[in-house]
Amino acid sequence: MAITTTKSAYRKGIVDALPFILVIIPFALLFGLLATEAGLNVVEALTFSIVVIAGAAQFTALQLLQEDVPTAIVLASALAVNLRMAMYSASLTPWIGGAPLWQRALAAYLTVDQSYVAAMTQYEREPQMTVPQRMAYFFGTVTPVVPLWYIFTLIGALVGSSVPESWALDFAIPITFLAMIAPMFRTLAHVAAALVAVIVSLIAVNVPYALGLIIAGLAGMMTGAQVEAWMERTKPGSAT
């Protein structure tokens, strides 16, 4: 069903983000648990999740804080894990750059992998959406996700380390991301971008400060752009 009003855009955002509830809960629980194990109290763990809302970066910071690593390096490494957010910001700009500044600032705080991917998929599927509808959709996608991120961090910190490792909560996020990736393979360029990114990420896994991810991402983006340009050139009847 096509989106016709900002209200229906907001609702569609909520509905599209509902599957993420299944994974945001275990992931937030896991952060709360590990934070408690690392010696953080409930207030510290919850503040961490509210101020940062970036699971992967929080896990990185928590891990490094427990090792004998200088504070500046902890900060730099965790920010490097979050560098992809700058790329998300760049790729959202053509779609929501026209929104009021306060909405862009709020959307920036609420940019997480789930909201970004859901929004991009929707914007590309229905490019005729207006900017207010796009913002409404974006805020819809975070409505079921972000409050649960706070709440289950809190619960994880309260129940402490009573959840056994055999629950394999660590794998909740890889499964979500894989599920989110699958609908994105629309053209050969998308498939090529993903393949190159995967190969480079495996080769570059030992690059310090989590920069392997950024290198792999850039390699994938360059591949996608090249393949897209090549497809346009070889398309029958194309002017260039």
Residue 80 beta carbon to other proteins: minimum distance, rounded to whole angstroms: 10
Of 8, 102, 6, 112, the closest CA to residue 57 belongs to: 112
By CB under 8 A, is residue 88 in contact with other proteins?
A: yes
By CB under 8 A, is residue 190 in contact with other proteins?
A: yes
Binding residues for other proteins restricted to 62-81, rule: CB under 8 A: 65-68, 71, 74-75, 78-79
User: Around Cβ 98, how many Cβ atoms within 10 Å?
Assistant: 13
Binding residues for other proteins restricted to 125-164, rule: CB under 8 A: none
Residue 53 beta carbon to other proteins: minimum distance, rounded to whole angstroms: 8
Residue 137 beta carbon to other proteins: minimum distance, rounded to whole angstroms: 15
Residue 1 beta carbon to other proteins: minimum distance, rounded to whole angstroms: 16
Query: What phi and psi, each to the nearest 5 degrees, are found at residue 206?
Result: -95, 5
| One-letter amino acid of 79 | L
Q: Which of 11, 14, 42, 91 binds other proteins (CB under 8 A)?
A: 91
Q: How far is CA 31 from CA 12, 40, 53, 118, in A?
A: 29, 11, 11, 23
Which C-beta is closer to other proteins: that of 4 or that of 98?
98
By CB under 8 A, is residue 43 in contact with other proteins?
A: no
Which C-beta is closer to other proteins: that of 3 or that of 210?
210
Of 135, 159, 117, the closest CA to residue 26 belongs to: 159
Q: Which of 3, 145, 146, 219 binds other proteins (CB under 8 A)?
A: 219
Asked if 153 contacts 33 with a C-beta cutoff of 8 angstroms, the reply is no
Residue 159 beta carbon to other proteins: minimum distance, rounded to whole angstroms: 19
Residue 70 to residue 67: CA distance in whole angstroms = 9
Segment interacting with other proteins, rule: CB under 8 A, options 6-14, 97-105, 143-151, 155-163? 97-105
Asked if 96 contacts 134 with a C-beta cutoff of 8 angstroms, the reply is yes
Structure tokens at 26: 């275990």
